[in-house]
Copies of this chain bind each other. A is one copy, B any other.
């Protein structure tokens, strides 16, 4: 079986598994994050982002989103995000829950991206008691459509946010793939473009279960510490999460893994782009492809052991392919070979 279904299905990258094992063999530290692995994360992340940052290791993407979101949004606030954003559709009201009842305002936009103009037109209610107060803008990078916001696009959005007194959150569950895809620095995609806090994903890119919340702007994060406890996300053996993240940040593992995933996605895209039977739904800019392909081709790929997500039952069928840090050329070649027969 070859997994092109989800980067959540992939296992743990060898560097990260070794880090976990080493942490277990090491001298027992203290609990609840008072350990050297957790301590090291601020510095390692500050190097990656070329800025002093405050970081919080957590275990899930939802936790990595809602802890900063609820620290930056009052219960009477509103959060602007793309209609398809994970926080809007796939976290079962986690943001509404953690904020104590804030409102998510969903924005339309092609290929999983909204524009600064769309945001600007939607902002509503500032200063009026009966309206939810515009508090936070959330950008998903890599988007749910596998596409990328350019630094200039991010800056335009964050400028609108700033003008309206709103903070900016980036859901970066696949942030590494965005850096790899755009070839710009992590700083350019975040604080240099006006982002206040990033949920920097590792789980989809080789960790066992680890995400890093990264605050850029000296936000007072004392409150987040309490919210982390009451959310059930203050882990007694936090060092095993931190050890994963330390290994992820070391030697640009995060970037190497993402680069490999993206390269494999690009390779598939290249093979398919002249295939008249295949339609690209979104531009392929990171490690995800949305395609329409003949039902017969879907069947042939499945028979050959390829696993991926069918998003419709029609012919042609809408499918999603997600490439991972451990996807390899041989599998991609095999995929391409089968596809060629159905052109």
Q: Which of A's residues lie within 8 Å of B, judged by CB?
A: 1, 3, 5-6, 8-12, 17, 20-21, 24-25, 27-32, 58-63, 65-66, 74-78, 89-94, 96-104, 124-125, 129-133, 203-204, 208-209, 223, 225-237, 240-241
Q: How far apart are the CA atoms of A234 and B66 in the complex, in Å?
A: 14
Q: How many copies does the complex hold?
A: 4
The 8 Å CB contact of A76, one of B25, B61, B223, is: B223
Q: How far apart are the CA atoms of A209 and B237 in the complex, in Å?
A: 7
Q: Contacts A9-B30, A237-B208 known; A96 to B101 CB distance under 8 Å?
A: yes
15 A-B pairs whose Cβ atoms sit less than 8 Å apart in the complex: A9-B29, A12-B237, A20-B208, A59-B232, A61-B236, A62-B232, A74-B226, A76-B223, A91-B229, A92-B129, A92-B229, A94-B229, A94-B232, A101-B101, A231-B231
User: Would you call B1 and A27 a contact (CB within 8 A)?
Assistant: yes
**Chain B residue contacts of A77, Cβ below 8 A:** 93
How far in angstroms is the closest Cβ of chain B from A25? 8
User: Would you call B129 and A100 a contact (CB within 8 A)?
Assistant: no
**Chain B residue contacts of A6, Cβ below 8 A:** 31, 236
User: Would you call A75 and B97 a contact (CB within 8 A)?
Assistant: yes
How far in angstroms is the closest Cβ of chain B from A75? 6
User: Would you call B60 and A233 a contact (CB within 8 A)?
Assistant: yes
User: Would you call B28 and A9 a contact (CB within 8 A)?
Assistant: yes
Q: How far apart are the CA atoms of A236 and B324 in the complex, in Å?
A: 15
The winner among A74, A91, A97, A223 for most chain B CB atoms within 10 A is A97
